[in-house]
Amino acid sequence: MEFRLLGVVEADADGRALDTGSPQQRRVLAALAVDAGRPVTTETLIDRVWDEAVPGSRRTLQVHLTRIRRLLADAGGTDPHPARLVRRSGGYLLDIDRQRVDVHRFGQLLAQARAAALPTRERVALLREALSLWRGQPLSGLSGHWAARVREACRQDFLTAVVAWADGELEVGDPQAVVTRLTGLAGEYPLEESLVAALMRSLHLVGRSAEALTQYASLRRRLAEELGTDPGPTVQRVHQAILRGHPPTDLADEPRERSQPSDRLVPAMLPAALADFVGRDALIAELVRLLHTAGDTGRPVPVPVVALVGRGGIGKTALAVQVAQRLVQHFPDGQLYLDLRDGQSQSLTVGAALGRFLRALGVDGSVIPPDPAERAALYRTLLAGRRVLVVLDNAADAAQVSPLVPGGPGCAVLVTSRTRPAEVPGVQLVPVEVLEPDQAVALLGRIAGQSRVDAQHEAAERIVDLCGLLPLAVRIAGARLARRPHWRLDVLAERLRDEQRRLDELVTGDLDVRASLALSYQELEAPAARALRCLALLDAPDFAAWVVAPLLDIDVDRGAELIETLAEAHLIDAVDAVDAVDAGGQVRFRMHDLVRIYAQERAAAHDDEPGRQASVERALGAWLTLAEHADSRLPNRRLALVHSAAKRWTPPEPDALVPDPLAWFSAERASLIAAIEQACRRGWTDLAWDLAARCVDFFDLRDLHDDWYHTHRVVLAACRRHGDRRGEAVACRGLGDLATLTPIARTGDHLTTVIRARRIFHDSGDRSAEADALTVLASLQRAGGQGRRAQVLLDGASRLVDSGADPATATALFLERGFVAQELGQYELGRDFAQRCLELARAHGWRAQQADALQLLGSLYDSLGQPHDAVHHLEEALGIAVELDHESLQAWILCVLGGRYLSQHRLADAGAALDRAYALFRRLRLSTGQSAVLRWRGQLALAAGDPARALTDLAESLALSRRNRAPYLEAHVLKAIGSAHDAMGDRTAAEHHWVAARDVFAALGNLAEVGKTRELLARSGEPAP
């Protein structure tokens, strides 16, 4: 994939032009491509696309970014390294090899051509290749201040390349090529003296000296008329040489000499590097590269400016000093360093900062001008032509940094900041993250003593984990241990475990985590500070920006703005996901543990308890509202809905927050579970059980049985603790429903749990919920081999449904009646019930229930001797299950389908289907499904003429079916084992297993299967009672 900006903005993949969209979308793409491989903040993108923020710009930007991400994904093709748009460090990054973007390829070629000692012909070839990339005006057709700035920067680079190419061509002896190209360009850029000088030289070399002198006269006239000045010394020198008839070698421009150390004062202001600094080797190497070479990469800004951004205590200053010390030899004219935070909270003014730098550069205080602008001009003048590294520590914002950036090439600037000074021209923002766990332990060992850490490694790991891997906190913990050599490490670990006193423990001397966090907090405006305090009250491990709206009871867009403010201050972080956004397309954020503890302290001191409680209740109510909205659009409905009177908080446009219900549930999964647990702890049981019930259909579609079980057990305990009988019934019904799917919920009391739910629903008059409970109870009875008892329960449920019930209740009831009829051998009755279930599910768009009904119909048609109808229904069911990405449903259908293929003697198809089913069941840890597949695998081996292999699979299936108490499956396996023994000539063993199978079928009440087994026994000579 290639991106072209040197002309009309274009992109192509495999030689095929891509549709880059509207002019505004092309501006977004260009704004990312100009910084390919580097993150661009949301604010910077808005500034580049709209010049300034306008109403709705943030949302429109997200739309464009989504379309660009889709465009890149669709165009990836067979490219082993496709371009991707990813979320990084509070912004977006176009992840692509920079050489695939023409502006960067141009800059790289220009930098290579400038390399010292490069043969002229090679230099000319590089410049010729660079100029071939130029297709016209850069960003052609794109308007705006940013596009104009980029065009101007590219124009300067283009002219530099043209002049360098012309010099090279003249040196290798091809002046005519230079004349041809530069004649038109001189007309296009009539005031560019270097261009005119090169044209004059080439004209002189081809014998057109008169035209060369005419070019000079035209340049002098235009400069006088338009700028009121004369040509510069270079053009004048060429003009004089032509007049004197000097040979061509005398006309070359004199190279600018490199800055050399002189008698001028050379500042060396860098602090000492920390002796116990650990880790970050790759980051240090990258920063050294950026600062050492970024000025020669063809970027629009000649002075490289790199900003290390991150929260307080993350180690930005220590890292900056490490990098700067390694660069001392590259900046022989000096190293300036300044802490821009004067004291603990007050930022140094620009004027004061310039004054300190001017004094460091040797300017007497008496002659330093009072005006900051004049100081800045003098500062830039003193640094012109020098190689000086400028380190600006603790910058508050871009306004504090920009005046301190030198004006010309040769220098470099390294900044540290808690915010993102993205407005500094050409700045490269580099996020500084917490340490890796092993690095944090190593730092602790450097300070507290390596032998102590080695001897108590587990305690050391707990300490750094409780410090949140924050370097400042780890350093304090190490210092406290160093001062107390008699302490065991687990003593400090235990003290840190208490969140109420953790920040009190992380203080030693002038190092204080609380004070460091306070600096960032105090710089927040009141709304952002309140947002941080309220976010800290939530137990959610991460969250999307919309959560701030219910917490503060404000507009969603305003909440998103506050989230961005907190992210820019590094008080919250964007979650580093693969695509940097969650499954719902929203950026997710999280709060560092120590920041959360600090913010909770501030909340307790600043906000009253009723206010804090109301904020949390609104947020949990918003999760409930959105979960209900998402659940109502899922293609699945297991049971009737039961609603609580819990308070809700409804956003004005829920569809905008839940564009895809499954994706939303996936993104919010951990937060929803945390919300349920938090509601239980606060005693808001109605909110807890309602939210847990809203998650069931999602848990079912994604086979999240552990989540389902955990949330309902937590809710059940809370409801019983607080006397919430309705919530207890909902939780009991949910746990019983789960027990029909997986053994993890079959705890021994699952039947009494469902009976309890049924009794409570009956007492409250909720007939649909009571019918659901009876249906669940019937399913559990059927699974235990009590088909007739299940049928009685379903009769009772049917009477409740007949008098009016939720359609989900009727759908579940008809499906279960079909399964019970199947296991009792009543295949035509089962088919009728399955058909009624299918009709209801189709009417309401419940695709999962459609697949369930089709699967049952497939089994029943096979039992009725209609194998082609059976396979047709099963294949349709499988298509739906694949469409839903419902893995356990796919596995069950594949298992049944494998059996049907086997009955049609399609052995290869049967084997493939059963292999897929078994792999899915193993991944999902569903032993009941594994047992069913092994039964069919055994019968497949038997059909293939390998009864010994069949017995191996069938023996394992029998053991699993008995362990899972699945008598219907056990009976079929026993019958198959008998057939395998019969195939091996062991009639005694065969009859033994057939008799056992007949007895189990008889106990189940399945007379049809009893009859089939009797036929086997009759053929073998065994009397059939």
User: How does pLDDT run across 492-532, given as a tens digit for each residue?
Assistant: 898 888 888 888 888 887 777 888 888 888 888 999 999 99
HEC assignment per residue over 612-669? HHHHHHHHHHHHHHHHHHHHCCCCCCCCCCCCCCCCCCCCCCHHHHCCCHHHHHHHHH
**Mean pLDDT, the chain, integer:** 87
How much is the pLDDT for 366?
64
> What is the DSSP pairing of strand 507-508 with strand 511-512?
antiparallel
Q: Residue 754 has which token pair?
A: 């469902």
Q: Is the pLDDT of residue 323 over 80?
A: yes
Q: What is the amino acid identity at position 868?
A: H
d(CA 152, CA 140): 12
pLDDT at position 301 is: 47
d(CA 341, CA 552): 32
Q: Helix, strand or coil for residue 1022?
A: coil
Nearest to 911 by CA among 927, 923, 895, 926: 895
Q: Where are the alpha helices (DSSP H) in 569-608?
A: 593-606
Look at residue 45 and tell me whether its pLDDT is greater than 90.
no
Strand partners, 671: none
Please report the pLDDT score of residue 206 as a whole number: 86
pLDDT digits (tens, 9 = 90+) for 838-867: 999 999 999 999 999 999 999 999 999 999
Sign, CA dihedral 922-928-929-931, equals: positive
Residue 246, pLDDT above cutoff 70: no
Report the length, in residues, of the chain.
Answer: 1025
User: Which pLDDT score is estimated for 254?
Assistant: 44
pLDDT at 263: 45
Flag whether pLDDT at 96 surpasses 50: yes
Per-residue pLDDT at 576: 62
DSSP H helical segments within 964-1006, as ranges? Answer: 967-983, 987-1004
| Least confident span in 155-164, 773-782, 918-927 | 155-164
* pLDDT given for residue 72 in this prediction: 84
Task: Indicate whether 534 pLDDT > 90.
Answer: yes
In the predicted model, is pLDDT for residue 187 greater than 80?
Answer: yes
Strands (E), 665-787: none
Three-state DSSP at 416 gives strand
Pairing of strands 305-309, 427-431: parallel
**CB contact at 8 A, 951 and 974:** no
Residue located via tokens 């629009």: 300
How far is it, in rounded angstroms, from Cα 335 to Cα 824?
89
Structure tokens, 248: 């061509």
- Better-predicted residue by pLDDT, 321 or 1019: 321
Q: d(Cα 550, Cα 804) in Å, to the nearest integer?
A: 37
Read off the tokens for 400: 């504090």
Of 154, 108, 185, 125, the closest CA to residue 9 belongs to 154
Give the domains, in start order, of the chain with CATH numbers: 2-98 (1.10.10.10), 173-255 (1.25.40.10), 281-431 (3.40.50.300), 437-509 (no CATH), 510-605 (1.10.10.10), 608-764 (1.25.40), 926-1025 (1.25.40.10)
Of 570, 609, 606, residue with least CA distance to 591: 570
Please say whether the beta carbons of 1000 and 971 come within 8 A. Answer: yes
At 59, which amino acid appears? R
What pLDDT, on a 0 to 100 scale, did the predictor assign at position 296?
Answer: 43
Residue 804: pLDDT band with limits 50, 70, 90: low
CA-based Rg of the chain, rounded to a whole angstrom? 38
Q: Per-residue confidence at 344, pLDDT binned at 50, 70, 90? A: low
What is the mean pLDDT of the segment spanning 1003-1017? Answer: 88
Q: Mean pLDDT across the stretch 458-468? A: 91
Pairing between strand 10-13 and 84-88? unpaired
pTM: 0.68
Q: Dmax of the chain from CA atoms?
A: 130
Mind listing the pLDDT tens digit for each residue in 250-276? 454 444 333 333 345 788 889 888 888
422: which residues sit within 8 A by CB, 6+ positions away?
41, 43, 44, 398, 429
What is the tens place of the pLDDT at every residue in 782-802? 988 888 999 999 999 999 887
Neighbour-count burial of 764, counting CB atoms closer than 10 A to its CB (0-12 exposed, 13-18 middle, 19+ buried) = middle
3-state helix, strand, coil in the chain (%, to 5): 65, 5, 30
Chain segment 145-168, per-residue pLDDT in tens: 888 888 888 888 888 888 888 888
Distance from C-alpha of 564 to C-alpha of 77, rounded to nearest angstrom: 35
Query: Would residue 723 be called left, alpha or beta, if left means φ above 0 and alpha means ψ between -120 and 50 degrees?
Result: left
Tell me the residue type at 173: G
Kindly state the tokens that stand for 163.
Answer: 């002049």
Q: In whole angstroms, give the CA distance from residue 668 to residue 543.
A: 8
Crossing angle of the two packed helices 193-205 and 233-244, in degrees rounded to 10: 20
Q: How big is the CA angle at 589 (ends 585 and 593), to the nearest 5 degrees?
A: 155
Dihedral (CA of 1010, 1012, 1014, 1016) sign: negative
Quote the CA–CA distance of 576 and 268 in Å, as a whole number: 38
Tell me if 493 sits within 8 A of 463, measured CB to CB: yes
Q: How many other CB atoms are found less than 10 A from the CB of residue 11?
A: 24
Q: Which residues contact 915 (CB under 8 A, 6 or more apart)?
A: none
Count of CA atoms in the C-beta half-sphere (13 A) of 378: 22
Helices then strands, each counted (H, E), the chain = 47, 18
Q: Among residues 376, 384, 370, 382, which one has the least CA distance to residue 404? A: 376
Give the C-alpha distances (Å, rounded to integers) separating 781 from 392, 628, 799, 965, 967. 73, 31, 19, 11, 11
CA 456 to chain centre: 35
What CA dihedral angle connects 433, 436, 439 and 444, to 10 degrees?
80
The pLDDT tens digits for 653-704 are 888 889 899 999 999 999 999 999 999 999 999 999 999 999 999 999 999 9
Write out the two tokens for 416. Answer: 């540290």
Sign of CA pseudo-dihedral 231, 235, 237, 239: negative
- Give the separation between CA 927 and CA 959, rounded to whole angstroms: 11
Structural tokens at position 611: 């206010």
Rounded to the nearest 5°, which phi and psi values hold at 13?
A: -130, 125
Q: What percent of the chain has pLDDT over 90?
A: 44
Residue 548, both tokens: 């701030």
Helix (H) or strand (E) holding 394: strand 389-395
Judged by DSSP in three states, 765 sits in coil
Decide which of 446 and 1024 is more confident. 446
| C-alpha to C-alpha distance for 869 and 267, rounded to whole angstroms | 89
Provide the pLDDT for residue 78. Answer: 66
